[in-house]
Structure 1
């Protein structure tokens, strides 16, 4: 047994194993340098497989324990899997290549073929294959005519300087690849909308929000910047879809199946409105809630053209995401191609997505490719993993601004309650014993956009137990009882201990 363990240890620390690992690292780094953060990066298809086959209990536990860091943990895990995949392939190639003294050639061929099968990008696959073959050549140096007696044994003494130099080279190459890949990653598009009337309407709503906004340090304005708008996807790399070749399939239980291209969709009668999105998985006072101006076609237009009369509508995305909502909810939705007066950015669903006002963010499907009308309530992607976030959003008043002033403290944030609206926000400085009315921004003229609130408290230095709550247009106070995000969204009154120091 001890001999077997020593043999295994030698295999894991031998020249062939270490070379395979270093070559695997530069293969992934070289792929990123060549392709950037796109579908042609070898990491991307591996990520899709990892996301698809990871059990829901692992996903939910990661989100529960690590919160927003869960996405980065998933990326780190997927990156490790990608490197491991190339490491194993290179190890096999080295063993085959050893037999005809062609390790570099074998490694090059294995890496290029694997990268091509993953990405279908023959030229960009060279970005992975060439540096991997170079690492093999640097470690084995076939031009020197040396051949270790045991390819899986420990490094000979004369080779230890070579492995150190190769390792340092790998580190340098990885750093340079990060810089090169960042330049290769496409910048967000900022193309204005085509129709002049549509552009004018969007610009007017953008200006309205800017004019009504409070200046609250630490809080977004009434209109969220596109660059800072929260982003949650199952796709680690956002799909790149050419608007000119995009088509929306409308089928299922319909009188007339439809195929709508981008120009046809833009030619239909459009609407422009505010709508706020809130992520069902965010913490109670989390920052995954934002507001934008959306331009698109009322979903009723598609319903009427298709002659659909089903109970449910299932929406499909290019990245494999899908969700199902009731027909009456879908008929309140927009099939959107514009955001804040510009075409949809890639990260937010370009060229077309769905906006479902008043509902949790997960039902607002990005990269829309198909609308399926059905009488069956099919579970959506996240419902298959235990979530229940397809209903109406829960009310919340966020406490995002706590700024000390000359006379006390400025408190503020955003309040949102979907279709029920927000008529008031109340603030308590004593843990909920007494309440004070906050000042609200004027209502936005369309849609279900949030409202900002602020309250300037003239108080003495000390600690204050601040609690905030929203009241809807029906006079109902938001739910007090706290709940976790899983499975159907966080609820409760936001609270925090705020310290006012001596001026």
Structure 2
């Protein structure tokens, strides 16, 4: 089953405009006040850009975060791309990025329960029926394995400012808020049908078990975001393994939602309940957050974000140095939420010329492709490395991205400054030849 995402988006936008959007537990007045505090465009006009989603002190992350692997950004940890070189297709758990709204809960798998409830399940009219599953129940269902990237919608946000001069709010990610893993679990469709899904159901909303999120003086409750039932029945899984091991604490232990190709906020970690509704559902994470606001968008904002966009990254640090006259192997990865990667072009002279890179993985929707290119620089001095991907839908990364106030979905070609140094000198000692004398010693 393939959901018509554009129709879903249009429907959500119409409901928001008509006032049907009621984010559970949060009043519309509070949402508008929060939007204004976050620098989001509202019908009241253009507020001065402000810092939204201010990170709490300390990361609140369980696994080690050595500086050679991660850059700490408030409650989050961004993967350093240089740490991914030679790591293979899947991102190792010890260097997979972490996006937390609060802090990582350390839940006991033996005590974990998933409550599936709501008006979209079989039961008496007007009553919400609930069905509970534990981890053993999930493991009794047919298991599925899939390779999929998870990526924060704000990945690349800092480039809106550093490359385009735009003012945006939120965590200043470079390109390290993404990772690909092999996820194993059960199809969400199996769980929903076991719970008694009916044809009346239109939306479902997974909710995490991490702490309630408070920002701008407003308690937004636990992180949750609606999904259309059609998407849930298509390719969404409840994952309990990551790269062949039980989910680590920071990545959703014991069970998380994996929504292939969609923005990271859809992939709810530490899922504790799923509401299934015969009416549209809303939360702050699809009304004020994870929508596009700005001069290029309607005053009320775009429809809620669904699919991820197209990006490329080099497996090297910004400002890296290369020796002239020596062959270097440039490596990187490209990915798209709309399709697989069909080709990648690389420039080593700040965009003046381009060469086609060699792809090392077949195009797969919802996953990335690795690529490489040999480069023997001849001129010394500063330059920039650029990578430009084209996916199987025909979309190519643009030179610039239309800005939005919260800095989501940056997809432009990123300029990676590097420096080419003169060849290292090799110092050789002079060779002295001594003639042998008769009867003597050398």
- Compared with structure 1, are the counterparts of its residues 229 and 60 closer, same or farther at alpha carbon in structure 2 (3 Å cutoff)? farther
Farther off after superposition, 472-481 or 377-386: 377-386
Aligned 8 A contact 1:403 1:411 in 2: no
Q: 1:494 aligns with which of 393, 398, 414?
A: 414
2:295 corresponds to 1:392: no
Q: 1:228 aligns with which of 90, 95, 110?
A: 95
Distance 2:386 2:63 in 1: 41
Aligned 8 A contact 1:399 1:494 in 2: no
2:292 corresponds to 1:373: no
Q: 2:376 aligns with which of 458, 469, 474?
A: 458
* SS of structure 1 residue aligned to 2:98: coil
- Compared with structure 1, are the counterparts of its residues 370 and 451 closer, same or farther at alpha carbon in structure 2 (3 Å cutoff)? same
2:226 corresponds to 1:321: no
CA displacement at 1:187 relative to structure 2: 6.7
Distance 2:230 2:287 in 1: 23
Distance 2:133 2:107 in 1: 15
Aligned 8 A contact 1:420 1:473 in 2: yes
For normalisation by structure 1, the TM-score amounts to 0.56
Distance 2:224 2:347 in 1: 42
2:307 corresponds to 1:307: no
- Compared with structure 1, are the counterparts of its residues 55 and 186 closer, same or farther at alpha carbon in structure 2 (3 Å cutoff)? same
Aligned 8 A contact 2:358 2:372 in 1: yes
CA displacement at 1:279 relative to structure 2: 0.8
Which is richer in helix?
1
Distance 2:361 2:414 in 1: 22
Q: 2:106 aligns with which of 240, 243, 251?
A: 240
CA displacement at 1:56 relative to structure 2: 5.1
Aligned 8 A contact 2:62 2:104 in 1: no
Distance 1:60 1:291 in 2: 32
Q: Counterparts in 2 of 1:93-108, with a 5 A limit? A: none
Distance 2:249 2:385 in 1: 39
Distance 1:347 1:491 in 2: 27
Aligned 8 A contact 2:37 2:52 in 1: no
Q: What do the CA deviations read for 1:57-94 (whole angstroms, capped 9, x no partner)?
A: 55679xx98899x53xx216x9xxxxxxxxxxxxxxxx
**Structure 1 residue aligned with 2:296:** none
Aligned 8 A contact 2:247 2:254 in 1: yes
Aligned 8 A contact 2:149 2:261 in 1: yes
Q: What do the CA deviations read for 1:85-136 (whole angstroms, capped 9, x no partner)?
A: xxxxxxxxxxxxxxxxxxxxxxxxxxxxxxxxxxxxxxxxxxxxxxxxxxxx
Q: Counterparts in 2 of 1:242-391, with a 5 A limit? A: 242-252=108-118, 253-255=120-122, 257-283=130-156, 285-305=174-194, 306-309=196-199, 310-319=201-210, 320-331=222-233, 332-388=235-291, 390-391=305-306
* SS of structure 2 residue aligned to 1:227: helix
Q: Counterparts in 2 of 1:26-425, with a 5 A limit? A: 55=34, 71=55, 74-75=56-57, 217-220=82-85, 221=87, 222-235=89-102, 237-252=103-118, 253-255=120-122, 257-283=130-156, 285-305=174-194, 306-309=196-199, 310-319=201-210, 320-331=222-233, 332-388=235-291, 390-401=305-316, 404=322, 406-407=325-326, 409-425=328-344
CA displacement at 1:391 relative to structure 2: 0.7
Distance 2:133 2:376 in 1: 58
2:349 corresponds to 1:467: no
- Compared with structure 1, are the counterparts of its residues 432 and 377 closer, same or farther at alpha carbon in structure 2 (3 Å cutoff)? farther
Aligned 8 A contact 1:484 1:491 in 2: no
CA displacement at 1:459 relative to structure 2: 2.2
Question: Number of aligned pairs?
Answer: 312
Aligned 8 A contact 2:315 2:332 in 1: yes
- Compared with structure 1, are the counterparts of its residues 471 and 324 closer, same or farther at alpha carbon in structure 2 (3 Å cutoff)? same
Aligned 8 A contact 1:409 1:500 in 2: no
Any stretches of 5+ residues in structure 1 without a counterpart?
1-51, 79-181, 189-215
Distance 1:491 1:480 in 2: 9
**Structure 2 residue aligned with 1:114:** none
Any stretches of 5+ residues in structure 2 without a counterpart?
1-30, 41-48, 65-80, 124-129, 160-173, 211-221, 292-303, 424-442
Q: What do the CA deviations read for 1:239-297 (whole angstroms, capped 9, x no partner)?
A: 22222221111121112642111100111101111111111122254211111111110
* SS of structure 1 residue aligned to 2:149: strand
CA displacement at 1:384 relative to structure 2: 4.3
CA displacement at 1:428 relative to structure 2: 1.9
